[in-house]
Amino acid sequence: MKNRRLYFEQPFACNVREEPLPEAREDQLLVRTTCSAISAGTEMLVFQGRFPAGMTLDATLPSLAGQPFAYPLAYGYSSVGAVVAAGPLADPAWVGARVFAFQPHQSHFVAQAAELIRVPAHVSDDDAVFLAAMETAVNLVMDGRPVVGERVLVLGQGIIGLLATAVLARFPLEALAVLERWPLRRQAALDMGAGAAWAGDEPDWIDAAAMVFNRQAADGGVDLVFEVSGQPAMLDTAIAWAGFAGRIVVGSWYGTKKAPIDLGGRFHRNRLQLLSSQVSTLAPEFTGRWTKQRRLATAWECLARVQPSRLITHRFDIADAQQAYEQVAERAGETLQVLLTYSEL
């Protein structure tokens, strides 16, 4: 039996290499992957060659730490599988456990127990594979700090945007609306609890949005905007809709994408707050009471409630990974979540 491991070889080209099956040594555990989720954000930047030159991978993830963003690159961070073997110094009770791991796409991998997260019994593999995305959504909402009765706008309804919408829908907000170009995603946003969803090109959308956000009132406008479209030009839209002293949380990673942003008008006069949100760390103001473990526990609870497996639109065997990435890159209008699966050879 071989390990099948996905490599990004160059822009718009990936390849699955067969490698020797890793052996669980000392305190390591061997995991056989059942499915892994493709990120339409960061992974698309890798697939398209849009990552900044000289930047290293996420140092908080042991499976990626210290590696540069450079081809060929094994990448990915949302894998679910089962422990199939334990090294001589590892706890044999792990064997058979279903686990989540921040690992690149591959059929097998070895890790220490501290790098694995047990999947709760009441959470399916198809829901568990969304853990990294849900943790990101939870982190976004924490950084935005929604208040009872606020008006909230989410720009972009990819998986992160949809999950953030689902979490926000549980808050007692005055209004929760989204802006998303693709009809499939707008309908998914409504299913997740958004009160309104616009493409931004409807003849009357500005009037409809102004009514939803009570823009004509003295305190009108949006209190809180989340920018998760992956398009830096959408920051102008966020600025245009944020009310006085409004908060704009940027969850997108733009990579090398750039756009001119108008900071000379509403942004300057309206005391808008532009906040960066990134899941690798907790905001300093939370660290007195929160840990990453507590945030993960919250993400598991949200997964159990939301059951995001309904957002899976495509499954590809890892042997067809090139087709999977082309699906995400070229057919966004018909795609929500794409999974890679791992049949036994």
Query: What does the DSSP assignment read for 231-282?
Result: -TTHHHHHHHHEEEEEEEEE----TT-------SSHHHHTT-EEEE--TTS-
Kindly indicate the confidence band of residue 63, based on its pLDDT and cuts at 50, 70 and 90: low
CA atoms of 142 and 122, how far apart (whole Å) = 25
Task: State residue 219's pLDDT score.
Answer: 67
CA atoms of 242 and 250, how far apart (whole Å) = 13
Task: State residue 221's pLDDT score.
Answer: 86
Task: State residue 253's pLDDT score.
Answer: 86
Show the tokens assigned to 313.
Answer: 């639109």
If you average pLDDT over every residue of the chain, what do you get?
93
Encoded amino acid at 335, one letter: T
Show the tokens assigned to 325.
Answer: 């990435």
H helices of 16-68, in order, are: 42-48
Q: Among residues 299, 176, 157, which one has the least CA distance to residue 229? A: 157
Give yes or no for residue 58 having a pLDDT over 70. no
Determine the 3-state secondary structure of 104 from DSSP. Answer: coil
Task: State residue 257's pLDDT score.
Answer: 86
Encoded amino acid at 61, one letter: L
Predicted model pTM: 0.93
Kindly indicate the confidence band of residue 42, based on its pLDDT and cuts at 50, 70 and 90: confident
Kindly indicate the confidence band of residue 64, based on its pLDDT and cuts at 50, 70 and 90: low
CA atoms of 160 and 343, how far apart (whole Å) = 28
Give yes or no for residue 164 having a pLDDT over 90. yes
- Domains of the chain with CATH codes: 2-119+308-341 (3.90.180.10), 133-284 (3.40.50.720)
Encoded amino acid at 137, one letter: A
Give yes or no for residue 339 having a pLDDT over 90. yes
CA atoms of 308 and 302, how far apart (whole Å) = 9
Task: State residue 73's pLDDT score.
Answer: 92
CA atoms of 150 and 185, how far apart (whole Å) = 23
Selected residue with higher pLDDT from 70 and 143: 143
Show the tokens assigned to 254.
Answer: 């733009």
Distances, alpha carbon 77 to alpha carbons 116, 226, 323, in Å:
12, 23, 19
What's the distance, Cα to Cα, between the start and end of the chain in Å? 7
The mean per-residue pLDDT over the stretch 56-73 comes to 71
Please write the tens of the pLDDT for every residue from 108-118: 999 999 999 99
Residue written as tokens 């698309």?
Answer: 44
Residue written as tokens 């598991």?
Answer: 300
Sheet holding 242-250, edge to edge: 196-198, 175-179, 151-155, 222-227, 242-250, 273-276
**Cis? peptide before 104, omega within 30° of 0:** no
Task: State residue 1's pLDDT score.
Answer: 84
